[in-house]
Chains A and B, each alone.
Chain A
Amino acid sequence: MSTIQAALQSPPTGGLGLAKRIIPCLDVKDGRTVKGVNFVDLRDAGDPVELAWQYSQQGADELVFLDITATHERRKTMVELVKAVARQINIPFTIGGGINEIADADILLNAGADKISVNSAAVRNPELINELAMAFGKQFVVVAVDTKFIGDTNLVHLNGGRIATELETEKWIKEAEERGAGEILLTSMDHDGTKAGFDNFLLKKINDSISIPLIASGGAGSMQHFVDVFQKSNVDAALAASVFHYGEILIPSLKEELRKHTIEVRL
């Protein structure tokens, strides 16, 4: 009760009552999570469903599952996983990886996914964004963008950052918004894996130039990095993987810390 009173009295930031979201990201291969996980009371650290449930209990606001399976069996395994997650957890989740056409998205949405994210496929065929938004509504369509600073510009990269394009990141994001993206997930490849903090400068620049929600990704290493990204760039959500999976940052503590800095979060 006291926390509720505190919540009601705390000054709202941004959208008057709209909480900043904390999003753990799970890499999934052949129906199993790949990055190491060391939650103490997990029976099966490789089971995405159990992990998802744990995160929802800890207060994660949303989850992203990234399917990195390369085989033809991918779709079938993923659909079963999506159904199992939708059955058991009570927060929204996004599925990314390997969505190349409407049919891929349709099957995932019917299995209970709240959003789908497209990355390389959208760069190769931008019309895909329009088609997805038309078919399912823009709120279902997350466009994920991997960016790397080359020379003096941020350029879009494909295939997990391995392939450079000549597409300027800000320009591509604006195009994605115009084509019907409902949300942008921006990963800085320069910051990803460094644990040195998010790319707040770029995130602020992009956030100020679009009017759809922006999820920050890449670089989270400490709770202060989350405070910084929300305070400096005012993004709508922050995503991270290993700091959560390895238990280096616990979501309840992170949310307490954010609230101490008057950043509105759902407790």
Chain B
Amino acid sequence: MIGIVNYGAGNIFSLTAALDRQNIAYEMINSVDEFDKYERYIIPGVGHAGAAMKKLEESGMVEKIKATSKPVLGICVGMQLLTDFSEEGNAHLLGIAPLKTCHFSENIKLKIPHMGWNRVSSGFNDKLDNELFKDINEGSYFYFVHSYFIEFNPTFTIAFAEHGIKFSAALQKDNYYGVQFHPEKSGEAGEQLLKNFASLKLEGSL
């Protein structure tokens, strides 16, 4: 069963609808004492990263998230929360992956927000066939809406996209995963990714 960290950052109706369509079981985690009973977690997030971090702190779930060895998936701002720091509000975040969340440079001549369907490359270097992208074609389009991005990093980036600059479309640090795009709005590719997350191996299982 997936627990969705319900800390009040953005609407999650679309996410739960997508999980329903895929028959993936989930529940909301509304308070910290419910945290341990789930086998994997989704951290959603829309809006301002600094504000989202503040709400996450108020939920009391920060330490639980940092300590877990179960699979965690951060979506959009939920992914950015996994990094050290965001230029959005100069906020210190969870610091799970030693990366920075940056604003798309004013020098980039392209439109901001980066909004729409962008190709994602997950088949590069040794990152080929990451479990999260299982059965998803290389170069598939995913739906993005964001003004801040996580820098590309050869160690933690498992899929990248380009919008004037190459950035992390998805990252992994141990049991923590993050996707900058919205799988719940990304057609069949997004639904496949949610299914993949729901069937990632749990620590200690075969």
Contacts and interface: CB of A to CB of B under 8 A. Distances in A.
Nearest to A16: B162
A167 B182 CA distance: 37
Contacts of A112: 11, 13-14, 17
A110 B11 CA distance: 5
A139 B146 contact: yes
A34 interface: no
B147 interface: yes
Interface in A210-260: 211-213, 236-237
B163 A137 contact: no
B115 A266 contact: no
A33 interface: no
A19 interface: yes
Contacts, number: 107
Interface stretch (A83-91, A189-197, A198-206): A83-91
A90 B191 contact: yes
A18 B141 CA distance: 9
Given A15-B163, A90-B191, A236-B111, A110 B13 contact: yes
B193 to A, nearest CB: 12
A92 B143 contact: yes
Contacts of B60: none
B117 to A, nearest CB: 4
Interface string A46-69: 000000000010000100000000
Given A90-B186, A90-B190, A213 B113 contact: yes
Interface string B134-175: 000111010101110000000000000111100000000000
Closest 6 CB pairs of A and B: A17-B119, A112-B13, A266-B141, A16-B162, A19-B117, A266-B117
Given A212-B113, A236-B111, 7 more contacts: A15-B110, A15-B163, A83-B13, A86-B14, A86-B17, A87-B17, A90-B184
Interface of A: 1, 4, 7-8, 14-19, 21, 56, 61, 83, 86-88, 90-92, 109-112, 114, 136-139, 182-183, 211-213, 236-237, 266
